[in-house]
């Protein structure tokens, strides 16, 4: 299982963790410019996904942290304007 470090803490996150969390989530509003991942036909902000999987607040890690994690897991990250 891939391991990722955020603010000195290590998290083991795999694709299945993200997929399981998506089944429980509704995508946040996309009213502003944002980076998203499309899963099961829905666009999720990448910070929302990483926050849900790690239990962290979206304010506790950067967009770059979220981008790296989801990119390494094989997700295609899009920038919506």
pLDDT in tens, 19-35: 999 998 998 887 776 89
pLDDT in tens, 61-78: 999 999 999 999 999 999
Percent of the chain with pLDDT over 70: 99
| Residue among 79, 55, 76 at smallest CA distance from 7 | 55
- Beta bridge partners of residue 34, listed in sequence order: 80
Percent of the chain with pLDDT over 90: 73
Q: Is the pTM of this model over 0.85?
A: yes
Please state the φ and ψ torsions of residue 79, each to the nearest 5 degrees: -110, 115
User: CA 65, 28, 58, 20 torsion: positive or negative?
Assistant: negative
Please state the φ and ψ torsions of residue 19, each to the nearest 5 degrees: -60, -40
């Amino acid at each position: 299982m891939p391991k990722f470090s955020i603010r000195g803490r290590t998290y083991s996150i795999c694709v299945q963790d993200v997929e399981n969390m998506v089944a429980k989530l509704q995508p946040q509003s996309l009213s502003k410019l944002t980076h998203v991942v499309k899963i099961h036909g829905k666009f999720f902000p990448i910070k929302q996904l990483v926050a849900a999987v790690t239990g962290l607040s979206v304010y506790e890690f950067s967009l770059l942290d979220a981008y790296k994690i989801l990119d390494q897991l094989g997700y295609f990250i899009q920038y919506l304007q």
